[in-house]
């Protein structure tokens, strides 16, 4: 299928990620078309059943997307593209610093398990618990109920980084992570947890050093209508959508 939507991969972009799909067997459909269909859903917020006829059948697209999530292919693809995007930006493939934070989003009424109410944000839904590098590129994501505390749910997110970021030394966080003992983080992961708090004397809004990059990442999520709310039935599918959105965003930085 020739490219006909702005969300489709260009030839140069597909060339960067095609090797990842070489180990998979596709009898009838081009993996590029399947991936473009996923990006169409992400960008437009379309329902799976309303994927245009120019793409493979929606059941086939959804089947492969779930299979890629189950095989951890989306995470490996995200890591590959992130390293290439960092090199393209003049950075080393592995970051030495990262930022952690959460984003609470509403869920649809038909959403499945893993929902709660965030009393601070007045949101009933789920939290996207995210770690990014200092360019705002995704390192890890865990989706959990919005009523769960940030510091208590941070360890599973941090665990995703083990073995993937050998140069990482410090992780910046806001005051919501004061309940996470910095000494424990150091003993378990050998990373320094640095709490960045706003200056009490500053009036109005002022971006916090090192922490504004993750707010920009949350803003990038807003460019994909499927991520404005959490439309997925399962939290793990929500995580897959976040990874797919970041793959689409970062691949443009490479080419």
User: What does 163-226 look like in DSSP terms, one character per residue?
Assistant: TT-TT--EEEE-GGGTTS-HHHHHHHH--EEEE----TT--S--PPTTTHHHHHHHHHHTTSGG
Residue 30 gets the label, from left (phi > 0), alpha (psi -120 to 50) or beta, of beta
DSSP lists the bridge partners of residue 108 as none
- Please compute the mean of the pLDDT values over residues 27-31 and round it to a whole number: 83
- Please compute the mean of the pLDDT values over residues 199-228 and round it to a whole number: 81
pLDDT digits (tens, 9 = 90+) for 154-189: 999 999 999 999 999 999 999 889 999 989 899 999
Classify residue 155 by its DSSP letter. Answer: H
Please state, for a pLDDT cut of 90, what percent of the chain lies above it. Answer: 76
DSSP lists the bridge partners of residue 125 as 106, 116
User: To the nearest whole number, what is the mean pLDDT of the chain?
Assistant: 91
For residues 183 and 188, what is the distance between their CA atoms, to the nearest angstrom? Answer: 9
> What is the pTM assigned to this prediction?
0.92
For residues 251 and 85, what is the distance between their CA atoms, to the nearest angstrom? Answer: 7
pLDDT for the residue 81: 96
């Amino acid at each position: 299928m020739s490219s006909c939507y702005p969300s489709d991969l260009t030839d140069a972009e597909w060339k960067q990620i095609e090797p990842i799909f070489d180990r998979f067997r596709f009898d009838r459909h081009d993996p590029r078309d399947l991936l473009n269909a996923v990006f169409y859903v992400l960008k437009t917020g379309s329902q799976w059943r309303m994927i245009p006829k120019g793409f493979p059948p929606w059941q086939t697209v959804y089947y492969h997307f779930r299979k890629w999530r189950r095989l951890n292919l989306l995470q490996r693809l995200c890591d590959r593209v992130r390293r290439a995007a960092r090199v393209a930006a003049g950075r080393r493939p592995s970051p030495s610093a990262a930022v952690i934070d959460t984003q609470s989003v509403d869920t649809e009424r038909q959403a499945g398990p893993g929902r709660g109410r965030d009393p601070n944000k007045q949101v009933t839904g789920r939290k996207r618990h995210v770690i990014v590098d200092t360019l705002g590129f995704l390192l890890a994501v865990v989706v959990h109920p919005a009523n769960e505390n940030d510091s208590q749910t941070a360890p599973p997110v941090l665990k995703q980084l083990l073995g993937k970021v050998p140069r990482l030394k410090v992780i910046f966080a806001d005051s919501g992570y004061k309940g996470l003992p910095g000494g424990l983080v150091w003993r378990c992961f050998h990373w320094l947890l640095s709490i960045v708090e706003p200056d009490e004397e500053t009036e109005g809004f002022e971006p916090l050093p090192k922490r504004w990059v993750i707010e920009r990442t949350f803003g990038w999520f807003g460019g994909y209508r499927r991520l404005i709310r959490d439309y997925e039935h399962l939290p793990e599918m929500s995580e897959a959508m976040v990874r797919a959105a970041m793959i689409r965003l970062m691949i443009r930085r490479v080419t």
